[in-house]
Each structure stands twice: as structure tokens, then as C-alpha cells.
Amino acid sequence: MTLQAEPARPHDVNDALDLLRRLDLPETDVAERWGHYFVVHEDDGRVVGVAGLEVHGDDGLLRSVAVNVDYRRQGLGASLVEAALARAARLELRSVYLLTTDARDYFSRQGFTESPREKAPAAIRESWEYTTGCPSTAVLMRREVTRR
């Protein structure tokens, strides 16, 4: 069966946290905001990919995009980003933002463009990821949400 992103279920959270931990990505707020997360399951049920959409005011924040090293370069990351963007469209959000230190080129390929940090909406600027989770050197990127 082709692996692809699907809405996360409550019991996927621990597996997803394990994956984030192994890749040195922060776990803060992930379980608390699990409602708009997506995962990729291996056939045996293991979580091999994760991505989350946090809603902040009228906009979304994409975070925790991570794929198990053994499952990379087969489009799973792209499928997770696409699922989060589709959810953002369903929620009628305006834009989806993200902060990244070393995956700027990856997200450019997913249609995100760099945006001045100080121009982020207030609700995004108040998020944990913005205030604490990402270093001040992280680049802010934005993609407008299009109706589907």
C-alpha cells in the first residue's frame, strides 16, 4: 500500500513524540494541539512521519514536519505538508506560516516564500514556536491558503 499522510488519531501521539525526539525537534505543545496533526503510518501501524498545523487567530503555523530517515525522499514530507494545507483551507485560514533554520529550500519547493519576521500576524508572533521554540535566526515563511 502506498504510504501517505492521514489525520492523526489520539493514540498516535506517543509514537509521533518519539519520532520528533529522535530527530531533535521540540515536543512542546504538540500533544496539547494534536487536533490538526497528520501522520504517515507504516503498514504495521508505526508512525513514520508527522506534521502539525496550529491555528493562531486567522492563520496557521505549520510545525513538526518530520519523516523517519528510512522513509525519506518518497514524497511523504510533501504529502504531510499538503494535508496540513488542505486542513488550513477547510478551516478557511488566511495563510500558513512556518519557521525554519535549515529547511528553507525544502519549503520553497512546497510553495512557501520568505516573509519578514516582524510582519507576522500578532497571533503567530505570540506562539510558543515564535517566541521560544525557534532561534531568532530562523526564517519565517508564508504560503497563502487557497480555496479548494
Ligand X SMILES: CC(C)(COP(=O)(O)OP(=O)(O)OC[C@H]1O[C@@H](n2cnc3c(N)ncnc32)[C@H](O)[C@@H]1OP(=O)(O)O)[C@@H](O)C(=O)NCCC(=O)NCCS
Residues that bind ligand X (CB under 6 A): 23, 25, 65-67, 72-78, 100, 102-103, 105-106
- For the record, the C-alpha cell of 148 comes out as 479548494
Beta carbon nearer to ligand X, 69 or 147: 69
> Between residues 1 and 92, which has the closer beta carbon with respect to ligand X?
1
Distance between CA atoms of 138 and 130, rounded to whole angstroms? Answer: 9
Question: Could you say which DSSP state residue 138 is in?
Answer: P
Nearest residue to the partner ligand X, using Cβ = 77
- How near is the Cβ of 142 to ligand X at its closest, in Å? 15
Query: 30 near 17, Cβ under 8 Å?
Result: yes
Q: How far is the CB of 61 from ligand X (least distance, A)?
A: 11
Residues 6+ apart with CB under 8 A from 108: 141
